[in-house]
A and B are shown apart, each in its own frame.
Chain A
């Protein structure tokens, strides 16, 4: 019990991403409406983005912009700056996520125009009939 509690307190950030990610996954798997599936996918992406950004966190460090005064003394210590790499990856991922969301919504619009509905089972039924 003590161990489990320790785990919960020490790693609570991971619990948040996992919860968010699972909400997104549930949306993608279980929801019948295509737009709700897309919303689920976005929640999933947000969880991944949060996870990556938190991996770059270092206690007592600041944003990864090197201070000129420190550079002139020749001491730039990596411990003083948070990890820039996850930020770079997520920076591009956020913008790509927005544009892929646009494509997903465009596909949903086309599906709605063709079948007149966004419910998955109704679309499948119409495909089977034809």
Chain B
């Protein structure tokens, strides 16, 4: 199998390399890819959508359908991860560890004790917990708000600088995954519950599709944001910019929630009690 694989790979590679003779050179401004639709996007983006960042306007307006279904793919991936891995009631771990905060003693309890968790001097801990993580915890406590602020900036400022819903959503998701890694999965889930995450990822897709449907209700084509001008008192060009923003917010919510959901399910094998 290995030799056969090597032969196939070498042959395919050789054919592909032979085909590069026909390809445009590096950075050629006259390459076919740069000659047909993209000049129009660059030249008209400011005039038609008042968004200077051509990537954002192409993403959410000119190719709005494409992005909507990409968001749906991400949502579907989150749902399938949940379906594949999530374990429900009756799947308690075989042993739970508690730490007595005053003495530093660790207790290994066969079954989970709700009464111990209610006491203030006991803290539940992961089975593979390392005790010397105070630097990590403190640093993350300082860092995470700034990461989240930056993520919101990336989403909101995607019209004028590199950024947008996908990037901002991933950063926002990464900040909560960082919390789950640096502290533990339970404290991350206390901040944003699983139910909220599932709702957010569905809501994100609905915000995107809902913006499109709103345009349809206002008498335009699906995702033709110029129709929004009828309800928000701005000119049609400004309405496109606002429509793009709404859509980006939807994408950001869906991406953030899905990333966290996938991480939680993968890292804890679906038990959602303790992760990496």
Contacts and interface: CB of A to CB of B under 8 A. Distances in A.
Interface of A: 7, 10-15, 18-19, 21-22, 25-26, 29-30, 32, 54-61, 63-68, 71, 76-79, 81, 83-88, 91-92, 94-96, 98-100, 102-103, 105-107, 109-110, 113
Given A14-B17, A21-B13, A103-B84, 15 more contacts: A10-B26, A11-B26, A18-B13, A18-B17, A26-B5, A30-B6, A30-B9, A57-B26, A58-B34, A71-B46, A91-B166, A92-B67, A96-B70, A105-B266, A106-B266
B170 A95 contact: yes
Contacts of B80: 103, 106
Grouping DSSP codes into helix (H, G, I), strand (E, B) and loop, the B interface class, with mixed when no group exceeds half, is helix
A1 B160 CA distance: 49
A interface: dominant SS: helix
B53 A102 contact: no
Given A66-B52, A71-B46, A88-B58, A10 B25 contact: yes
Interface residues of B, number: 65
B85 A56 contact: no
Nearest to B53: A65
A92 B13 contact: no
B6 A84 contact: no
Contacts of A65: 52-55, 160-162
Contact of A84 (B13, B41, B78, B161): B41
A32, A54, A65, A109 — most chain B CB neighbours (10 Å): A65
Contacts of A88: 55, 58-59, 63
A22 B6 CA distance: 9
B33 A30 contact: no
A81 B40 CA distance: 12
